[in-house]
Structure formats: C-alpha cells, structure tokens
Amino acid sequence: MKPVYLRPKSLTGTVTHYCPGCTHGIAHRLVAEIIDELDMQGKTIGVASVGCSVFAYNYFDVDFQQAAHGRAPAVATGIKRVHPDKVVFAYQGDGDLASIGAAEIVHAAARRENITVIFLNNAIYGMTGGQMAPTTLPGQKTTTSPFGRDTAGQGYPLRMSELLSTVEGAYYIARCSLHNAANIARAKRAIRQAFSNQIQGKGFSMVELLSTCPTNWRMTPGKALEWVEKEMIPVYPLGEFKIGEGE
C-alpha cells in the first residue's frame, strides 16, 4: 500500500493548541513540507513570535528560539549571522509583525537579511482574546473596537506586503491566502520560493498568509473562510509584490 498523505518529518506529532478552523495548522504544515522537500530539516532554525504561534516550536521538529513580541526578525538576524549556512525562518502574526515589531521587519528587509518570514495575517489579536490589530478591517468589530474599527480615531489597515515591497532591500514579497485548496497550493509555491531564495543567498523573503480566526471573529470555520475571501482579499489583494532581480 502506498501512503498518499503523511505527516511531514519536520512536524512533531504533538496535537496543536490551535482552535478548530484556524489556519495556523495549514501554515505550519506547508512550511514543514517545504523544509522536508528542500531536505533542510537538520539545518533549519525557527523563530517563534508572541501570539497564537508562540508555541510553534512544539510542532516543528527543528531547533527553535522563542522571541519577544515583535522581535523575531532581530532574533532571526542574530541567528543567521552566526550560522549563515543554515536556514532561518521567523513565523509571526499580524500584531507581532505589523504593530509592535514594525521597525524590526522593515529593517530586516532593508538589510536584505537572508531570512524567510512567514507572516500570518488574520486581522485580529488572537492569543490575547480578539483585540484590534493594525490589520483589522475598517468597520470590523473586535474587543477594543466594539463598534467596529472607526478609521477616524483608530486608523486604517496596514498593508505590510505593499509597504515592504517598497523597501529596496526586500528580495521577495508575496501575499497568499489559505481559504481554499487552490490558494493553499499557491501559498505553498510562494513559501517554497521564499525558502529557496534563502538557500540561494538571495536575501529577505516574506510570505504573507491571509488566515482565519473563527474564535475571535465569532464565526464558524466555514463562515470564516468565506469572510477571508469576501472581506479580506478586497483589502489585501493577493499576488507577488516583489520578485528580486539579480544576485
């Protein structure tokens, strides 16, 4: 009998703490599949951020460092500078990357730091219980925007992929979505590209993944996937925003 679906070697067997319908699990699996396919398991060091993915190291079967809130690109920089021949990736959420860690991600990109960043954007703070994120949509209700995000006082969503694509140092920037199979397949190709870039020494690569948070969005998993497609994608268009040229 030929198995058609196995757990990637780069994932441990630990059952995740993620909520039903959360796309973190899909994102983890895609990253692990790529690490396997590139045969990098023994050479990869991950950086976990603060947020729901704080325990990512329980699920990946590779060396890991847990970083302070927002600082994952700085920690990844430190690791990569010690081990330029290893694969270093940071796994960050939107509160971590787009809010408290906005400076770190911009400057890691500016330095063309040869790391890979997986950026989960679900438009809300998940772990702390559903507060407004820098990526929260206008009008979206959260526990700190209970009447819906009012742009007059609470500002506008930050489009990090667009922003980072203006940074000369950034090599590869793409935004994908995890709301259906076709998009998951595209996301996997982008993640492969982002890791391959690093192995080839091309520099800073980030893949933004539009993700769900059914629990804090107060939706069923099915509704949440629909909401990504109908509400998020119009604000966060998909595509490759930057593909670096030359060496």
Binding-site ranges for other proteins (CB under 8 A): 41-45, 47-48, 54, 57, 60-68, 71, 74-83, 86, 103-104, 106-107, 111
Nearer of residues 7 and 230 to other proteins, judged by Cβ? 7
| Nearest residue (CB) to other proteins, 41 versus 144 | 41
Helix (H) or strand (E) holding 187: helix 181-199
Task: Between 100 and 233, name the residue whose CB sits nearer to other proteins.
Answer: 100
Instruction: Report the nearest approach of other proteins to the CB of residue 127 (Å).
Output: 11
Nearest-approach distance from CB 158 to other proteins, in angstroms: 18
Cβ–Cβ contacts within 10 Å for residue 199, how many?
14
State the nearest-atom distance from the C-beta of 54 to other proteins, in Å: 6
Q: Which residues make Cβ contacts (< 8 Å) with residue 29, sequence separation at least 6?
A: 8, 11
Counts for the chain of helices (H) and strands (E), in that order: 10, 7
Angle (CA) 29-35-36 rounded to 5° is 90
For other proteins, which is the closer residue by CB, 32 or 123? 32
Nearer to other proteins, 86 or 141 (CB): 86
Least Å from the CB of residue 152 to other proteins: 30
Nearer to other proteins, 60 or 171 (CB): 60
Which pairs count as long-range contacts for 150-159, CB under 8 Å and 24+ apart, including other chains? 157/123, 157/235, 157/236, 158/98, 158/102, 158/134, 159/235, 159/236
CB of residue 45 to other proteins, shortest distance in Å: 5
Residue 107 bridge partners (DSSP): none
Q: Which residues, in sequence order, are bridge partners of residue 208?
A: 119, 175
Task: Give min distance, CB of 76 to other proteins, in A.
Answer: 6
- Could you give the CA distance from residue 152 to residue 164 in angstroms, rounded to a whole number? 25
Nearest-angstrom CA–CA distance, 16 and 18: 5
Q: Is 82 exposed, middle or buried (0-12, 13-18, 19+ CB in 10 A)?
A: exposed
Cβ distance to other proteins smaller for residue 83 or 218: 83
Contacts 24+ apart (CB under 8 A), 222-227: 222/21, 224/21, 225/21, 225/179, 225/180, 226/179
Smallest separation (angstroms) from other proteins to the CB of 100? 10
